[in-house]
Amino acid sequence: MLIADKIDSPVFHTVASVADSMSRPCYVVGGYVRDLFLHRHSKDIDFVTVGSGIEVAEAVAHRLGKGSHCSVFRNFGTAQVKHGGIELEFVGARRESYSHDSRKPVVEDGTLDDDLARRDFTINAMAVCVNADNFGQLIDPYDGIGDLDRQIIRTPLDPDITFSDDPLRMMRAIRFATQLGFTIYDDTFDAIARNAGRINIISRERIADELMKIMASPVPSIGWELLEACGLLSYIMPELHAMKGVEIINGRGHKDNFQHTLTVVDNVACKSDNVWLRWAALLHDIAKPVTKRWDQKTGWTFHNHNFIGAKMVPRIFRAMRLPLNEKMKYVQKLVELHMRPIALVEDEVTDSAVRRLLFDAGDDIEDLMILCEADITSKNQEKVRRFLDNFVLVRKKMEELEEKDRIRNFQPPVSGEEIMSFFGLGPSREVGVIKERIKNAILDGSIPNEREAALTYMHKVALELGLSAN
């Protein structure tokens, strides 16, 4: 199919007509052109004009008429037109120059060649003309088409200059390699390694944006492996970098926790698109480097790494500018609980232990089980099969107890206010003791999760505490 056929739509013809009426060369550029050849759908279309992009955008919005809205960003020389669920971005062709301590360029008017030369990668440095005389003509000065065919990420110009000028492009290279399954060209990758320290001038928010896109990719481990291999990981997430490697004492070594973690992340990615569950997988063993101990009898230990890891989560999220809201609490919760189902598999699956797990995990129990099943990464396939078979038994027990006892997210049938009313108490230690004893009795299966049984048990506990009803 000809490129002209790929952009044969009313929107493109409207932009072409407006540009021609203003005698402005106009081109579709960047990611939209790349995605045309990758057969990826996009609703965001970037246009470059020689001259004012804002003037063309305002004229396009007017021509498109009702339902179109134009937003102008004069400080950046750009304008955005929203129409029918698509976003058209317009900017004038420009050239850029940088100072060493900032990624904010000095911008000047330029030609189309200048504009394509400043692009990050060859696959993003292509343009398609929309003017009527050359509608659909491809401009590809850096062989972006060839690099798409070769599945290579490569900079149009000297990669050292490209990455030193704007170090965020190093993250973008790795993100594109992860999303597309492409290889970073050797010279480009070597330049990332040489310039890794420049990432410190980039805001954590921009880095977090790229990491979120890596985590949402089909195989997130590709990105994390590349971040480690080029040296960026030690700058942006030293806690994960510290997990790499194996220490051996008396011939006994522990597993490479970095590689294990990436396997778990990919295992989770195969089962769930929930990006925060993938973050929980990435951080589930994050405390192993700080809890690692050698014991002559038992070998390597990582005692309480789940609890200590859960305490590390808020600090990591804060440092990386990830949200400090319910998403962080969800990740923290799964990190703390991730050993519990495995403990059930290794020990006898008691009703009491399953009830407590259901109570503590609540609505996140299914995500927790996905994480724990993903965490079984032994090379011993018999061991893996045995663990996964036992997880099936745990799931079955959960279903039975949930149906019978309604434990997930349950609230004790007797409230603290009712206890205070029954015994004429104010807020006190005794009220807390009675509530906790009722909850534990239900979780242990000593009494059913029913109000009458809870009231009877409440009076029994109160009697032991020397309390009498009003």
Q: For the chain, what is the mean pLDDT?
A: 89
Question: How far out from the chain centre does Cα 90 lie?
Answer: 30
- Residue 393's pLDDT is 79
Q: Which of 31-45, 115-129, 270-284, 408-422 has the lowest mean pLDDT?
A: 408-422
- Residue 362's pLDDT is 86
Q: Which of 284, 285, 275, 281 is nearest to 214 (CA)?
A: 275
Name, of 127-136, 242-251, 410-419, the range with top average pLDDT.
127-136
Name, of 321-330, 351-360, 370-379, 392-401, the range with top average pLDDT.
321-330
What is the number of other CB atoms lying within 10 angstroms of the CB of residue 154?
A: 24
More confident of the two residues 126 and 449: 126
Question: How far out from the chain centre does Cα 285 lie?
Answer: 17
Cβ atoms of 72 and 58 closer than 8 Å = yes
* Percent of the chain scoring above 90 in pLDDT: 58
Residue 143 pLDDT exceeds 90: yes
- Residue 348's pLDDT is 67
- Residue 1's pLDDT is 55
- Residue 238's pLDDT is 96
Residue 436 pLDDT exceeds 60: yes
Residue 349 pLDDT exceeds 80: no
What is the number of other CB atoms lying within 10 angstroms of the CB of residue 396?
A: 12
Reported as a pLDDT band with limits 50, 70 and 90, residue 449 is confident
- Residue 11's pLDDT is 92
Question: How far out from the chain centre does Cα 406 lie?
Answer: 33
Prediction pTM value: 0.85
Q: Which of 122-131, 266-275, 376-385, 451-460 has the lowest mean pLDDT?
A: 376-385
**Dist CA 32 CA 248 (whole Å):** 50
- Residue 218's pLDDT is 96
More confident of the two residues 74 and 311: 311
Pairing mode, strands 183-184 and 248-249: unpaired
Domains in the chain (CATH in brackets) are: 3-149 (3.30.460.10), 151-236 (1.10.110.30), 416-464 (no CATH)
Cα separation values, 275 from 123, 192, 324, Å: 27, 26, 15
More confident of the two residues 57 and 396: 57
